[in-house]
Structure 1
Amino acid sequence: MISSLRVRGFTMVIVASILWGVSGTVAQSLMQHYQFQTDWLVASRLLASGLILLALSLCGPHRQNVWRILFSGGDLARLLLFSIAGMLAVQYTYFASIEAGNAATATLLQYLGPVFLVVYLVIKLRQLPSAAQVTALILALGGTYLLITGGNPGKLTISAAAVIWGLASALALAFYTVYPKPLLGRWGSTVVLGWAMLIGGIGLCLAKQPWQATDMIWSVPSVLAVVFIVLFGTLIPFYLYVDSLNYIRPTETSLLACAEPLSAVITTVVWLHVSFGMFEWIGGLCIIGTIFALSRHREKAKEPALQNAVGS
């Protein structure tokens, strides 16, 4: 019989993943119907979420870490790199893929991140991939082909820009997943991610000046959508996902997080009426299947889980 604590952990991951998936569809709605742009949405999401996370950290038992990390020498340099090449990169490429295509395909393409990470580790460790890893690679390649072509090699079902941004998002996710691990262990997740969001948001503002966007349509629905992306698409699922690791294994969180692309696809198709044919569904399920294949490899090898990034 499953204990109540494990049920709590399962529930937290599933709710977090669904919220992440839905937030991508909400972002697509803002772009399509209210003329919001990637620059503005990403900057606002990062700045607001970063400030709130740091404020929460200042109220916690390790509040001194909020300021100490800024005077940590090498760790500060690592934090700056993670903020730009990790946090900002994964958020910007994901939203850019949504803007160029749709939330469903953007989320599924981002889910190729663990596969890129496996390829990197196989090359770095100079060892032959396991059967599970080979299976994951085949599923990823086949799934991506079906997703972006709809089974017709003569055309793309989404724009080339959406594919490029989506694959870039997967690469950024691979880096985002592995690089900050030492920082998270020394300084705490809320401190590291809070500063990474804030620094990434400031960096984007300096590069793009998103406040100059003038075509956005402000109304009650669009304001509520922005609030949803910040609170229910970032802060709440982040807390639920991280806290769930106190109750269930990281491998289990990775598997349950498959609810994210499924919720993105379902809400995009039902709410925004995006066409998603049989081959796209098969391709999407193949990509999700890579997570199950990789989890089998980890169980046999007893390796640490390649967790999904906290928030997409």
Structure 2
Amino acid sequence: MNSPSRRTGLLLVITGAIFWGVGGTVAQKLFQQYGIDVNWLVTTRLLIAGFLLLAVQFLLKDRAQVFGIWKNKRTAFQLVIFGLLGMLAVQYTYMASIKHGNAAVATLLQYLAPVMIILYLILRKQTVLTQRDLITVTLALGGCFFLLTNGSLSNLSVPAPAIIWGVLSGVALAFYTLNAIPLLAHYDSLVIVGWAMVIGGLALSLIHPPWQMDFTGVPLEAYLYLVFVILFGTMLAFWFYIESLQSLSPKETSLLGSLEPLAAVLTTVFWLHEPFGSFQWLGTACIIGMILLLALTKKSSSKQTLSNKKPLRVS
């Protein structure tokens, strides 16, 4: 039987992944039903969740890292770049894709990032093309084709802006993942992600001040949804995911983290009643299969992966 700590780890990672997936669907409802501005939600989500994650690090873990990360100029510069071109970019493109389309498609397109990383490393000659890579790329491309066209070559089943933002989200996540490696070698992921969120939120605040949002006519239930997206879909989801690593391996958490796109698809279809054709389900299965393949065959010794580190999540 599983030990209590292992059962706790399984519960945490499953809950965190579901929170991430459902959080995207709730954001879609906020955009499309209540007219919440994407810029405002991204800014507010980053700032509040970022400060909360730093508070967790300060109160429960190594508090010296919270401000110690700024003492080294090189590390501080890397963190700022990571916050702007990694965290802010991936959060904004993901939310924009949801606004123009739906949470299911946005989440699945974002999960193309591993394929983009594989192709990048092959082009840079930092790795060689393997049979597993070919299968991964085939599943990703086939999944995207079915997901976006529903099997028809004559038209798209998803709005073009949603596809563009979704692909950009995958690119941003690929950059985010690769750019995090040197930071993870020296600091806890709560510190890195917490500060990256704060940096991204502050930068976007200069362009779209969050206090200028007009909440006239916004009902109480919309505020509850906002709390869910910020607290459960961001802060608690990430915290639970990191805490699960105390009793689970990175491979196990990555594998169970694939529940995120599944949760996004199911809640989008059955809660928001978004139309989803049979070929789109096939595309979803291909992309989730790709995620599972990567999680099951990840090599812990690879220099190009984060399997020896605490994984970063962004959704």
Give the equivalent residue in structure 2 for 1:100. 100
Measured in 1, the distance between the counterparts of 2:3 and 2:314 equals: 27
**Within-5 A mapping of 1:9-20:** 9-20=9-20
State the superposition RMSD in angstroms: 1.9
2:258 and 2:292 in contact (8 A); partners too: no
Give the equivalent residue in structure 1 for 2:220. 220
Bigger CA drift: 32-41 or 127-136? 127-136
- In structure 2, which of residues 287, 310, 314 is the aligned counterpart of residue 311 of structure 1? 314
AA matched with 1:64: A
Q: Aligned-pair distance for 1:29? A: 0.6
| Deviations, residues 71-103 of structure 1 (Å, cap 9, x unaligned) | 310000000000011111111000000001000
Q: Aligned-pair distance for 1:295? A: 3.4
Q: Aligned-pair distance for 1:296? A: 4.6
| Deviations, residues 226-277 of structure 1 (Å, cap 9, x unaligned) | 1111110011111111111222221221111111011111111111110011
Three-state SS of the structure 2 residue aligned to 1:163 is helix
Measured in 2, the distance between the counterparts of 1:220 and 1:244 equals: 33
Three-state SS of the structure 2 residue aligned to 1:179 is helix
> Aligned pair in 2 of structure 1 residues 40, 124: CA closer, same or farther (>3 Å)?
same
**Within-5 A mapping of 1:1-312:** 1-125=1-125, 127-214=127-214, 217-299=217-299, 303=302, 309-312=312-315
> Aligned pair in 2 of structure 1 residues 93, 216: CA closer, same or farther (>3 Å)?
farther
TM-score by length of structure 2 reads 0.92
> Aligned pair in 2 of structure 1 residues 293, 224: CA closer, same or farther (>3 Å)?
same
Measured in 1, the distance between the counterparts of 2:55 and 2:255 equals: 31
Identity, % of aligned positions: 45
TM-score by length of structure 1 reads 0.93
Three-state SS of the structure 1 residue aligned to 2:190 is helix
Q: Aligned-pair distance for 1:118? A: 1.2
Three-state SS of the structure 2 residue aligned to 1:152 is coil
> Aligned pair in 2 of structure 1 residues 99, 61: CA closer, same or farther (>3 Å)?
closer
Measured in 2, the distance between the counterparts of 1:296 and 1:133 equals: 13
1:36 and 1:217 in contact (8 A); partners too: no
Q: Aligned-pair distance for 1:198? A: 0.7
What is the number of equivalent residue pairs in this alignment? Answer: 311
1:70 and 1:76 in contact (8 A); partners too: yes
| Deviations, residues 125-171 of structure 1 (Å, cap 9, x unaligned) | 35431111100000000000110111001111111110010011111
AA matched with 1:272: L
1:132 and 1:296 in contact (8 A); partners too: no
AA matched with 2:204: L
Measured in 1, the distance between the counterparts of 2:215 and 2:4 equals: 49
Three-state SS of the structure 2 residue aligned to 1:273 is coil
Measured in 2, the distance between the counterparts of 1:173 and 1:38 equals: 19
| Deviations, residues 6-61 of structure 1 (Å, cap 9, x unaligned) | 33322221111101000001001111111001101100100111121222333245
Three-state SS of the structure 2 residue aligned to 1:292 is helix
Bigger CA drift: 10-19 or 215-224? 215-224
Q: Structure 1: which 5+ runs fail to align?
A: none
1:34 and 1:217 in contact (8 A); partners too: no
| Deviations, residues 99-123 of structure 1 (Å, cap 9, x unaligned) | 0100010011111111111111222
Measured in 2, the distance between the counterparts of 1:261 and 1:169 equals: 14
Measured in 2, the distance between the counterparts of 1:61 and 1:26 equals: 31
Measured in 1, the distance between the counterparts of 2:188 and 2:18 equals: 25
| Deviations, residues 181-222 of structure 1 (Å, cap 9, x unaligned) | 332332322222111111100111112334434376422101
| Deviations, residues 277-310 of structure 1 (Å, cap 9, x unaligned) | 11011001101111222235425x8537556641
